[in-house]
Amino acid sequence: MKKNLFKTLFVAFLAVFTLAACSSQSSSKETTETKISAMPKIDGFTYYGEVPESPKKVVSLASSYTGHLLELDLNLVGVTSYDKKNPVLTDYVKDAEEVAAADLEAIATLEPDVIVVGSTEENIEQLAEIAPVISIEYGKRDYLQILSDFGSVFNQEDKAQDWLDEWETKIADTKKEVQAVTGTDATFTVMGLYEKEIYLFGDNWGRGGEVIYQALGYTAPEKVKTEVFPTGYLAISQEVVADYVGDYVIVAAEDDTTGSSLYESDIWKAIPAVQEGHVIRVDANAFYFNDPLTLEYELETLRDAILATKK
Protein backbone atom coordinates (compact mmCIF):
# COMPACT_ATOMS: atom_id res chain seq x y z
CA MET A 1 0.00 0.00 0.00
CA LYS A 2 2.77 2.41 0.98
CA LYS A 3 4.75 1.32 -2.04
CA ASN A 4 1.87 2.17 -4.40
CA LEU A 5 1.30 5.53 -2.69
CA PHE A 6 4.97 6.41 -3.05
CA LYS A 7 4.87 5.44 -6.73
CA THR A 8 1.80 7.59 -7.33
CA LEU A 9 3.33 10.63 -5.60
CA PHE A 10 6.57 10.19 -7.56
CA VAL A 11 4.72 10.09 -10.89
CA ALA A 12 2.71 13.20 -9.96
CA PHE A 13 5.89 15.05 -8.95
CA LEU A 14 7.57 14.08 -12.19
CA ALA A 15 4.61 15.33 -14.22
CA VAL A 16 4.59 18.67 -12.41
CA PHE A 17 8.36 19.05 -12.86
CA THR A 18 8.11 18.27 -16.57
CA LEU A 19 5.29 20.78 -17.09
CA ALA A 20 7.24 23.48 -15.24
CA ALA A 21 10.33 22.81 -17.33
CA CYS A 22 8.37 22.98 -20.58
CA SER A 23 6.68 26.17 -19.44
CA SER A 24 10.06 27.69 -18.60
CA GLN A 25 11.51 26.71 -21.96
CA SER A 26 8.48 28.10 -23.78
CA SER A 27 8.70 31.38 -21.88
CA SER A 28 12.43 31.63 -22.56
CA LYS A 29 11.87 30.98 -26.24
CA GLU A 30 9.24 33.71 -26.45
CA THR A 31 11.52 36.31 -24.85
CA THR A 32 14.50 35.47 -27.06
CA GLU A 33 12.62 35.34 -30.36
CA THR A 34 13.05 38.49 -32.46
CA LYS A 35 9.87 40.39 -33.19
CA ILE A 36 9.61 41.23 -36.86
CA SER A 37 8.73 44.75 -38.00
CA ALA A 38 5.42 45.38 -39.70
CA MET A 39 7.59 46.54 -42.62
CA PRO A 40 4.97 49.06 -43.76
CA LYS A 41 4.67 49.85 -47.45
CA ILE A 42 6.45 53.19 -47.93
CA ASP A 43 7.19 54.82 -51.27
CA GLY A 44 10.91 54.46 -51.92
CA PHE A 45 11.47 51.82 -49.19
CA THR A 46 12.35 48.26 -50.22
CA TYR A 47 12.89 45.43 -47.74
CA TYR A 48 15.17 42.45 -48.26
CA GLY A 49 14.49 39.84 -45.61
CA GLU A 50 12.55 40.13 -42.37
CA VAL A 51 13.52 43.38 -40.65
CA PRO A 52 13.48 43.20 -36.84
CA GLU A 53 11.29 45.72 -35.06
CA SER A 54 13.91 46.46 -32.40
CA PRO A 55 17.34 45.73 -33.88
CA LYS A 56 20.27 45.62 -31.47
CA LYS A 57 22.96 46.24 -34.09
CA VAL A 58 22.50 48.44 -37.16
CA VAL A 59 24.89 49.22 -39.99
CA SER A 60 24.18 52.46 -41.86
CA LEU A 61 25.71 52.57 -45.33
CA ALA A 62 23.64 55.59 -46.35
CA SER A 63 24.87 58.76 -44.64
CA SER A 64 21.65 60.57 -45.46
CA TYR A 65 19.82 58.40 -42.93
CA THR A 66 22.39 57.89 -40.16
CA GLY A 67 21.08 60.82 -38.13
CA HIS A 68 17.51 59.56 -38.42
CA LEU A 69 18.54 56.21 -36.96
CA LEU A 70 20.46 57.91 -34.17
CA GLU A 71 17.50 60.12 -33.31
CA LEU A 72 15.52 56.94 -32.69
CA ASP A 73 18.31 55.68 -30.38
CA LEU A 74 19.24 52.73 -32.57
CA ASN A 75 22.67 51.27 -31.88
CA LEU A 76 24.88 51.84 -34.91
CA VAL A 77 27.81 49.45 -35.09
CA GLY A 78 28.89 50.45 -38.59
CA VAL A 79 28.79 53.80 -40.41
CA THR A 80 30.37 55.50 -43.43
CA SER A 81 33.42 57.74 -43.67
CA TYR A 82 31.10 60.73 -44.14
CA ASP A 83 29.48 60.00 -40.79
CA LYS A 84 32.86 59.73 -39.10
CA LYS A 85 33.99 63.17 -40.30
CA ASN A 86 30.66 64.89 -39.65
CA PRO A 87 31.25 67.02 -36.52
CA VAL A 88 27.54 66.85 -35.70
CA LEU A 89 27.67 63.05 -35.41
CA THR A 90 31.19 62.57 -34.04
CA ASP A 91 30.20 61.75 -30.47
CA TYR A 92 27.30 59.56 -31.57
CA VAL A 93 29.34 57.30 -33.86
CA LYS A 94 32.69 57.24 -32.06
CA ASP A 95 32.28 53.56 -31.13
CA ALA A 96 30.97 52.49 -34.54
CA GLU A 97 33.26 50.95 -37.14
CA GLU A 98 33.87 52.81 -40.39
CA VAL A 99 32.77 50.56 -43.25
CA ALA A 100 31.86 50.74 -46.91
CA ALA A 101 29.30 48.68 -48.79
CA ALA A 102 32.07 46.79 -50.53
CA ASP A 103 33.52 45.67 -47.17
CA LEU A 104 31.27 42.61 -46.97
CA GLU A 105 33.59 40.71 -44.66
CA ALA A 106 33.99 43.66 -42.30
CA ILE A 107 30.23 44.19 -42.20
CA ALA A 108 29.58 40.51 -41.53
CA THR A 109 32.03 40.62 -38.63
CA LEU A 110 29.85 43.28 -36.98
CA GLU A 111 26.91 40.81 -36.96
CA PRO A 112 24.24 43.44 -37.69
CA ASP A 113 20.52 42.78 -37.28
CA VAL A 114 19.69 45.18 -40.12
CA ILE A 115 21.57 47.16 -42.77
CA VAL A 116 20.34 50.48 -44.21
CA VAL A 117 21.48 51.44 -47.71
CA GLY A 118 20.66 53.80 -50.55
CA SER A 119 18.76 52.32 -53.48
CA THR A 120 21.69 52.87 -55.86
CA GLU A 121 23.95 50.56 -53.85
CA GLU A 122 25.25 47.75 -56.07
CA ASN A 123 25.83 45.16 -53.33
CA ILE A 124 22.32 44.96 -51.92
CA GLU A 125 21.83 41.26 -52.65
CA GLN A 126 25.18 40.36 -51.10
CA LEU A 127 24.43 42.54 -48.08
CA ALA A 128 21.05 40.83 -47.69
CA GLU A 129 22.89 37.56 -47.20
CA ILE A 130 24.51 39.08 -44.11
CA ALA A 131 21.41 40.67 -42.57
CA PRO A 132 17.98 42.05 -43.55
CA VAL A 133 18.34 45.21 -45.64
CA ILE A 134 16.27 48.38 -45.93
CA SER A 135 16.95 50.11 -49.26
CA ILE A 136 15.80 53.73 -49.59
CA GLU A 137 15.46 55.81 -52.74
CA TYR A 138 16.60 59.36 -51.99
CA GLY A 139 14.07 62.10 -52.59
CA LYS A 140 11.01 59.86 -52.72
CA ARG A 141 9.91 61.12 -49.33
CA ASP A 142 9.95 64.59 -47.79
CA TYR A 143 12.97 65.17 -45.55
CA LEU A 144 10.74 65.24 -42.46
CA GLN A 145 8.63 62.26 -43.53
CA ILE A 146 11.70 60.04 -43.47
CA LEU A 147 11.85 60.19 -39.67
CA SER A 148 8.18 59.19 -39.44
CA ASP A 149 8.87 56.38 -41.90
CA PHE A 150 11.67 54.97 -39.78
CA GLY A 151 9.41 55.38 -36.76
CA SER A 152 6.82 53.18 -38.48
CA VAL A 153 9.40 50.55 -39.41
CA PHE A 154 10.87 50.33 -35.90
CA ASN A 155 7.64 50.91 -33.94
CA GLN A 156 8.76 54.31 -32.69
CA GLU A 157 6.09 56.53 -34.16
CA ASP A 158 5.63 58.44 -30.89
CA LYS A 159 9.32 59.26 -30.56
CA ALA A 160 9.46 60.44 -34.16
CA GLN A 161 6.39 62.62 -33.69
CA ASP A 162 7.80 64.16 -30.51
CA TRP A 163 10.84 65.37 -32.45
CA LEU A 164 8.68 66.70 -35.30
CA ASP A 165 6.52 68.65 -32.85
CA GLU A 166 9.60 70.16 -31.19
CA TRP A 167 11.06 71.02 -34.60
CA GLU A 168 7.89 72.85 -35.61
CA THR A 169 8.08 74.96 -32.46
CA LYS A 170 11.77 75.77 -32.99
CA ILE A 171 11.11 76.79 -36.59
CA ALA A 172 8.27 79.12 -35.62
CA ASP A 173 10.43 80.86 -33.01
CA THR A 174 13.50 81.08 -35.26
CA LYS A 175 11.49 82.37 -38.20
CA LYS A 176 10.36 85.40 -36.21
CA GLU A 177 13.91 86.17 -35.15
CA VAL A 178 15.61 85.95 -38.53
CA GLN A 179 12.87 87.63 -40.52
CA ALA A 180 13.13 90.59 -38.15
CA VAL A 181 16.62 91.02 -39.60
CA THR A 182 16.18 89.97 -43.23
CA GLY A 183 12.59 90.90 -43.89
CA THR A 184 10.15 88.42 -45.41
CA ASP A 185 11.13 88.90 -49.05
CA ALA A 186 14.89 88.28 -48.83
CA THR A 187 16.30 85.79 -51.33
CA PHE A 188 18.90 83.15 -50.45
CA THR A 189 21.36 81.15 -52.52
CA VAL A 190 22.90 77.90 -51.26
CA MET A 191 26.34 77.21 -52.71
CA GLY A 192 28.96 74.50 -52.30
CA LEU A 193 32.63 75.04 -53.05
CA TYR A 194 35.11 72.34 -53.99
CA GLU A 195 38.72 72.44 -55.20
CA LYS A 196 37.86 73.38 -58.77
CA GLU A 197 34.07 73.36 -58.83
CA ILE A 198 31.18 75.52 -57.75
CA TYR A 199 27.77 73.97 -57.15
CA LEU A 200 24.39 75.46 -56.35
CA PHE A 201 21.85 73.48 -54.33
CA GLY A 202 18.06 73.48 -54.17
CA ASP A 203 15.61 72.95 -51.35
CA ASN A 204 16.15 69.20 -50.81
CA TRP A 205 19.85 68.51 -51.31
CA GLY A 206 21.30 69.34 -47.90
CA ARG A 207 23.77 72.19 -47.28
CA GLY A 208 21.05 74.05 -45.38
CA GLY A 209 18.57 74.15 -48.25
CA GLU A 210 15.81 72.40 -46.33
CA VAL A 211 16.17 74.81 -43.41
CA ILE A 212 16.36 77.98 -45.51
CA TYR A 213 13.76 77.25 -48.15
CA GLN A 214 11.35 74.73 -46.66
CA ALA A 215 11.47 75.41 -42.93
CA LEU A 216 12.11 79.15 -42.73
CA GLY A 217 10.25 79.86 -45.96
CA TYR A 218 12.82 82.00 -47.77
CA THR A 219 12.78 82.08 -51.54
CA ALA A 220 15.62 81.83 -54.05
CA PRO A 221 16.51 84.05 -57.02
CA GLU A 222 14.38 83.16 -60.04
CA LYS A 223 17.36 81.72 -61.92
CA VAL A 224 18.06 79.35 -59.03
CA LYS A 225 14.43 78.24 -58.83
CA THR A 226 14.21 77.47 -62.55
CA GLU A 227 17.65 75.93 -63.10
CA VAL A 228 18.60 74.37 -59.75
CA PHE A 229 15.47 73.33 -57.89
CA PRO A 230 14.19 70.82 -60.49
CA THR A 231 17.37 68.69 -60.34
CA GLY A 232 18.52 69.55 -56.81
CA TYR A 233 21.95 70.86 -57.79
CA LEU A 234 23.81 72.58 -60.61
CA ALA A 235 27.49 73.06 -61.43
CA ILE A 236 28.37 76.59 -62.58
CA SER A 237 31.49 78.50 -63.57
CA GLN A 238 33.01 81.33 -61.58
CA GLU A 239 32.18 83.79 -64.36
CA VAL A 240 28.40 83.44 -63.88
CA VAL A 241 28.22 83.22 -60.07
CA ALA A 242 26.77 86.70 -59.72
CA ASP A 243 23.77 85.72 -61.85
CA TYR A 244 22.62 83.26 -59.17
CA VAL A 245 23.38 85.02 -55.88
CA GLY A 246 20.47 86.52 -53.98
CA ASP A 247 20.34 88.91 -51.01
CA TYR A 248 22.15 86.31 -48.88
CA VAL A 249 24.41 83.44 -49.84
CA ILE A 250 25.29 80.35 -47.82
CA VAL A 251 28.64 78.87 -48.84
CA ALA A 252 29.48 75.33 -47.74
CA ALA A 253 33.10 74.18 -47.97
CA GLU A 254 35.15 71.53 -46.18
CA ASP A 255 37.91 73.93 -45.11
CA ASP A 256 38.82 77.62 -45.08
CA THR A 257 41.16 77.42 -48.08
CA THR A 258 38.61 75.93 -50.47
CA GLY A 259 37.23 78.64 -52.74
CA SER A 260 40.03 81.13 -52.12
CA SER A 261 40.31 81.91 -55.83
CA LEU A 262 36.61 82.80 -55.93
CA TYR A 263 36.79 84.97 -52.83
CA GLU A 264 39.74 86.89 -54.28
CA SER A 265 38.10 87.50 -57.66
CA ASP A 266 36.65 90.84 -58.75
CA ILE A 267 33.49 89.01 -59.78
CA TRP A 268 32.87 87.88 -56.20
CA LYS A 269 33.78 91.21 -54.62
CA ALA A 270 31.33 93.04 -56.88
CA ILE A 271 28.30 90.99 -55.77
CA PRO A 272 25.93 93.12 -53.61
CA ALA A 273 25.43 90.34 -51.02
CA VAL A 274 29.20 90.15 -50.57
CA GLN A 275 29.52 93.90 -50.20
CA GLU A 276 26.70 93.93 -47.65
CA GLY A 277 28.34 91.25 -45.54
CA HIS A 278 25.57 88.75 -46.27
CA VAL A 279 27.85 85.77 -46.92
CA ILE A 280 27.38 82.88 -44.48
CA ARG A 281 30.24 80.38 -44.62
CA VAL A 282 29.56 76.97 -43.10
CA ASP A 283 31.35 73.64 -42.66
CA ALA A 284 30.23 71.36 -45.50
CA ASN A 285 31.03 68.26 -43.42
CA ALA A 286 28.33 69.33 -40.97
CA PHE A 287 25.89 70.61 -43.62
CA TYR A 288 25.82 67.79 -46.16
CA PHE A 289 22.66 66.10 -44.93
CA ASN A 290 19.14 66.77 -43.63
CA ASP A 291 18.60 64.33 -40.77
CA PRO A 292 17.16 65.51 -37.40
CA LEU A 293 20.52 65.98 -35.67
CA THR A 294 22.01 67.84 -38.62
CA LEU A 295 18.89 69.97 -39.07
CA GLU A 296 19.06 71.14 -35.47
CA TYR A 297 22.71 72.10 -35.91
CA GLU A 298 22.03 73.86 -39.21
CA LEU A 299 19.11 75.80 -37.78
CA GLU A 300 21.14 77.10 -34.84
CA THR A 301 24.16 77.90 -37.02
CA LEU A 302 22.14 79.74 -39.65
CA ARG A 303 20.09 81.59 -37.06
CA ASP A 304 23.21 82.92 -35.34
CA ALA A 305 24.83 83.83 -38.66
CA ILE A 306 21.79 85.69 -39.96
CA LEU A 307 21.35 87.61 -36.72
CA ALA A 308 25.05 88.54 -36.89
CA THR A 309 24.47 90.31 -40.23
CA LYS A 310 22.26 92.90 -38.58
CA LYS A 311 23.84 96.34 -38.77
Amino acid 125: pLDDT: 94
State pLDDT tens for residues 59-72.
999 999 999 999 99
In this predicted structure, the answer to whether residue 20 has a pLDDT above a threshold of 70 is: no
**Are 262 and 171 a contacting pair, CB within 8 Å?**
no
3-state SS string for the chain: CHHHHHHHHHHHHHHHHHHHHHHHHHHHHHHHCCCECCCCCCCCEEEECCCECCCCCEEECCHHHHHHHHHCCCCEEEECHHHHHCCCCCCCCCCCEECCCCCHHHHHHCCCCEEEEECCCCCHHHHHCCCCEEEECCCCCCCCHHHHHHHHHCCCHHHHHHHHHHHHHHHHHHHHHHHHHHCCCCEEEEEEECCCCEEEECCCCCCCHHHHHHHCCCECCHHHHHHCCCCCEEEECHHHHHHCCCCEEEEEECCCCCCHHHHCCHHHHCCHHHHCCCEEEEEHHHHCCCCHHHHHHHHHHHHHHHHHCCC
Amino acid 111: pLDDT: 97
Average pLDDT of 73-96?
A: 95
Average pLDDT of 90-103?
A: 95
State pLDDT tens for residues 267-300.
999 999 999 999 999 999 999 999 999 999 999 9
Average pLDDT of 181-206?
A: 94
Q: For residue 245, with 0-12 CB atoms within 10 Å meaning exposed, 13-18 middle and 19 or more buried, which class applies?
A: buried
Amino acid 259: pLDDT: 80
- pTM (two decimals): 0.86
**Are 60 and 76 a contacting pair, CB within 8 Å?**
yes
State pLDDT tens for residues 196-244.
899 999 999 999 999 999 999 999 999 999 999 999 999 999 999 999 9
Domains in the chain, please, with CATH? Answer: 45-158 (3.40.50.1980), 182-308 (3.40.50.1980)
Amino acid 26: pLDDT: 44
Amino acid identity for residue 121 in this structure:
E
Walk across the sheet containing 114-118 and list its strands.
45-48, 133-136, 114-118, 58-60, 76-79, 97-98
Average pLDDT of 191-200?
A: 92
pLDDT band at 254 (very low <50, low <70, confident <90, very high): confident
